[in-house]
């Protein structure tokens, strides 16, 4: 979604703004812009529809040495992607970039008679509102911003400059991240730490309801009620190599291939295979609190939701007397669901900023239920608002399609389930097979990637021209097929839906014809024979079936068999999912599409 950068210091602001915006490209956007200010009040405002390359074309003819400015990548909400709707927006001497949504913008617009609106955006209403306080000189820039924000309903992360004050930037946040990078004689602004990496390691993460006056060598933070805040300077953990492609053609492939290491990071210090124990400090629940848990509510969107579904299937296998409900955040936040007091909620989010997931977290907390984050982005809003949490530590995930996060989210949640089971006194013999396999997973993922990548690439070439597909699985393979279908559709634009195999005869079987291929996830196990019968039903109707399985004896005449060479059994769906990720990746590359930034999508969905 939208991204913000800002710079005040002695260096060339345009250089930082453009390089920072490029770092934020992965979040998804459809226009971009920057404004820089010269000492004498000269302003250079450049905006362009489409990619940052279009903005750079304009920049080539408008090079400046200005050392203060702000920039933005916009993902359209109010008004189409266009130059007029791109940020920064201007009113009088003020220029504003904004992430989030001003919900009462229509009402506010009605009060701003003196401003001639040039865009369809809610953001222009906000800049005009700030200017209404600023223009007569009654308020300083920071106080004009505060006055305006007190009237605003909605979410925002903003950065504001005035041509009258070419040495200061005002930033504020409510519901949309804003980070202030503390440099030596320079201060940097970003909505995402990746833009700051390589420039500074020290940052202040603004909290909701805070505003800051930022200069090159000072940062003053206060609340909207004018209470001073002594802001904590934290370390940015990300390094440059984590946000670069590192020799891979695309981030998606890099992130798929990173999974042996990223999962090892998730497990570090948490798995004691020798003694068959899990040690998870982050949730911060005592043994007594863990023993009391009777219900788990798992909340997420998209891939995080699928991870929650799969983890739920596992946790109920080994944790007695516990009910698990995995819910879609955008639905759950508006339901009238009663959550029993002996519940714990797992809030699952790679970015830690997803608006619907965050809203659920807040609703659930209101009911007095303990919330545990399963989050990747350190210092993100969800990570900071949950009662306790387990970071998955997979490092930055840049490709819009979530890959390595899924694997680690599932395992992190299973480890939390194992922690509950340990506290409830479940026999070690029951838990040991899970712990043993978790311990072996990084290696098993590496072997799967090594042995199957080439084959998946070949198979994908045969299927790239299909427009429809069905993903099928039973039990633990069902949520896994949902995730496989999501991956394929979001990057390759091939219609892909997942069905529980048992549901086939209840409707979806009617779809099977030459326009579709069927991707079957077939783990060994109790339901293997039933799933094989289901495959026969599809074959009997002329299906174009691909089967991935860890079984040795599968011998039906399907079009392609992807045999997974592994002794992993419990967690084989994770390996199958990695194959689905590779399949989606290679299909998309074969179709010549932009795999890292699929159309219409954003990496972090910070609006509802």
Beta strand 68-74 with 295-300 is unpaired
Q: Which residues contact 19 (CB under 8 A, 6 or more apart)?
A: none
Element (H, E) at 91: strand 89-91
Our finding on whether 604 is near ligand M6R (CB under 6 A) is yes
Element (H, E) at 469: strand 468-473
Stretch of 223-231, 297-305, 385-393, 553-561 lying at the interface with ligand M6R (CB under 6 A): 297-305
Rounded CA Rg of the chain:
26
* Residue with the CB atom nearest ligand M6R in the bound state: 302
Q: Is the CB of 330 or the CB of 550 nearer to ligand M6R?
A: 330
Task: Give dist(CA 308, CA 313) in Å, integer.
Answer: 9
Q: Is the CB of 343 or the CB of 350 nearer to ligand M6R?
A: 350
In the numeric block, which tokens belong to residue 183? 């440099």
**Least distance CB 59 / ligand M6R (angstroms):** 30
Task: Give dist(CA 536, CA 522) in Å, integer.
Answer: 13
**Least distance CB 591 / ligand M6R (angstroms):** 17
Our finding on whether 401 is near ligand M6R (CB under 6 A) is yes
CB 507 within 8 A of CB 523: no
Q: Is the CB of 373 or the CB of 523 nearer to ligand M6R?
A: 373
Rama region for 56: left / alpha / beta (φ>0; ψ in -120 to 50; rest): alpha
Kindly write down the DSSP assignment for every residue of 306-364, as one continuous string. Answer: HHHHHHHHHHHHHSTT-EEEEEEHHHHTTS-----TTEEEEEEESSS--HHHHHHHHHH
Our finding on whether 400 is near ligand M6R (CB under 6 A) is yes
Our finding on whether 302 is near ligand M6R (CB under 6 A) is yes
Stretch of 69-77, 128-136, 226-234, 346-354 lying at the interface with ligand M6R (CB under 6 A): 346-354
Alpha carbon distance, N-terminus to C-terminus of the chain: 11
x/- track of binding to ligand M6R for residues 458-497 (CB under 6 A): ----------------------------x---x-------
Phi, psi of 477, rounded to the nearest 5 degrees: -80, -10
**Least distance CB 308 / ligand M6R (angstroms):** 10
Our finding on whether 605 is near ligand M6R (CB under 6 A) is yes
**Least distance CB 178 / ligand M6R (angstroms):** 18
Our finding on whether 303 is near ligand M6R (CB under 6 A) is yes
Q: Is the CB of 304 or the CB of 570 nearer to ligand M6R?
A: 304
CB 217 within 8 A of CB 185: yes
CB 75 within 8 A of CB 2: yes
Task: Give dist(CA 54, CA 43) in Å, integer.
Answer: 20
Q: Which of the following is catalytic: 216, 254, 370, 603?
A: 603
Nearest to 35 by CA among 10, 60, 64: 64
Q: Please work out, in degrees rounded to the nearest 5, the angle formed at the alpha carbon of residue 168 by the alpha carbons of 223 and 193.
A: 70
**Least distance CB 379 / ligand M6R (angstroms):** 14
Our finding on whether 301 is near ligand M6R (CB under 6 A) is yes
**Least distance CB 599 / ligand M6R (angstroms):** 13
Q: Is the CB of 491 or the CB of 551 nearer to ligand M6R?
A: 491
Task: Give dist(CA 306, CA 481) in Å, integer.
Answer: 9
Our finding on whether 255 is near ligand M6R (CB under 6 A) is no
**Least distance CB 314 / ligand M6R (angstroms):** 19
Q: Is the CB of 155 or the CB of 349 nearer to ligand M6R?
A: 349
Our finding on whether 298 is near ligand M6R (CB under 6 A) is no
**Least distance CB 357 / ligand M6R (angstroms):** 5
Distance of CA 151 to the CA centre of its chain: 30
Stretch of 47-55, 113-121, 397-405, 562-570 lying at the interface with ligand M6R (CB under 6 A): 397-405
Strand order in the sheet with 323-328: 323-328, 295-300, 343-349, 370-375, 388-391
Q: List the interface residues with ligand M6R, window 486-545 (CB under 6 A).
A: 486, 490
x/- track of binding to ligand M6R for residues 355-374 (CB under 6 A): --x-----------------
Task: Give dist(CA 319, CA 306) in Å, integer.
Answer: 20
Our finding on whether 262 is near ligand M6R (CB under 6 A) is no
2 is catalytic: yes
What residues are labeled active site?
Answer: 2, 603
Task: List residues binding ligand M6R (CB under 6 A).
Answer: 301-304, 349-351, 354, 357, 400-402, 486, 490, 604-605
């Amino acid at each position: 979604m939208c991204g913000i950068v800002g710079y005040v210091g002695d260096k060339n602001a345009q250089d930082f703004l453009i390089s920072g915006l490029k770092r934020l490209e992965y979040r998804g956007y459809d226009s971009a812009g920057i404004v820089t200010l010269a000492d004498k009040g000269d302003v250079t405002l450049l905006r362009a529809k489409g990619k940052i390359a279009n903005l750079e074309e304009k920049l080539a003819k408008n090079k400046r040495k200005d050392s203060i400015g702000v920039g933005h990548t916009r993902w359209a909400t109010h008004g189409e992607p266009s130059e007029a709707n791109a940020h920064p927006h201007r009113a009088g001497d003020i220029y504003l970039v904004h992430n989030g949504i001003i919900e009462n913008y229509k009402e506010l617009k009605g009060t701003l008679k003196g401003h001639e609106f040039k865009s369809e955006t809610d953001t222009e209403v906000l800049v005009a509102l700030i200017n209404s306080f600023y223009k007569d000189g009654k308020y300083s820039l920071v106080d004009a911003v505060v006055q305006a924000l007190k009237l605003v309903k909605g979410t925002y992360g903003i950065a504001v400059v005035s041509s009258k004050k070419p040495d200061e930037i005002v930033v504020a946040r409510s519901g949309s991240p804003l980070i202030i990078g503390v440099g030596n004689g320079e201060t940097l602004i970003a909505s995402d730490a990746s833009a700051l990496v390589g420039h500074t390691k020290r940052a202040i993460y603004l909290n909701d309801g805070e505003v800051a006056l930022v200069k090159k060598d000072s940062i003053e933070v206060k609340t909207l009620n004018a209470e001073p805040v002594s802001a904590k300077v934290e370390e940015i953990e990300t390094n440059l190599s984590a946000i670069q492609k590192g020799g891979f053609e695309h981030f998606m492939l890099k992130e798929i291939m990173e999974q042996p290491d990223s999962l090892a990071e998730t497990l570090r210090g948490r798995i004691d295979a020798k003694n068959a124990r899990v040690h998870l400090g982050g949730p911060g629940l005592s043994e007594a609190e863990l023993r009391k848990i009777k219900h788990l509510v798992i909340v997420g969107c998209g891939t995080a939701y699928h991870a929650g579904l799969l983890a739920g299937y596992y946790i109920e296998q080994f944790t007695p007397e516990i009910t698990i409900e995995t819910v879609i955040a955008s639905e759950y936040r508006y339901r009238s669901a009663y959550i029993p007091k002996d519940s714990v909620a797992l809030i699952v989010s790679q970015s830690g900023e997803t608006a619907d997931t965050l809203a659920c977290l807040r609703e659930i907390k209101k009911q007095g239920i303990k919330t545990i984050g399963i989050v990747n982005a350190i210092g993100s809003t969800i990570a900071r608002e949950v009662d306790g949490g387990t970071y998955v530590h997979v490092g930055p995930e840049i490709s819009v399609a979530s890959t390595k996060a899924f694997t680690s989210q599932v395992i992190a949640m299973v480890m939390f389930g194992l922690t509950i089971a340990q506290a409830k006194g479940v026999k070690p013999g029951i838990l040991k097979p899970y712990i043993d396999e978790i311990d072996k997973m990084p290696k098993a993922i590496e072997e799967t990637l090594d042995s199957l990548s080439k084959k998946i690439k070949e198979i994908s070439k045969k299927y790239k021209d299909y427009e429809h597909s069905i993903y099928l699985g039973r039990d633990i393979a069902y949520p896994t097929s949902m995730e496989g279908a999501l991956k394929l559709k979001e990057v390759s634009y091939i219609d892909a839906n997942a069905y529980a195999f048992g549901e086939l005869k209840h409707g979806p079987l009617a779809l099977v014809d030459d326009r579709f291929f069927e991707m079957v996830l077939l783990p060994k196990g109790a339901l293997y024979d039933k799933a094989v019968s289901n495959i026969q039903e599809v074959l009997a109707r002329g299906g174009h079936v691909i089967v991935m399985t860890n079984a040795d004896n599968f011998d039906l005449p399907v079009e392609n068999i992807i045999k997974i060479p592994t002794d992993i059994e419990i967690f084989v769906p994770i390996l199958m999912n990695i194959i689905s990720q590779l399949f989606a990746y290679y299909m998309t590359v074969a179709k010549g599409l932009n795999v890292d930034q699929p159309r219409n999508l954003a990496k972090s969905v910070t609006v509802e």
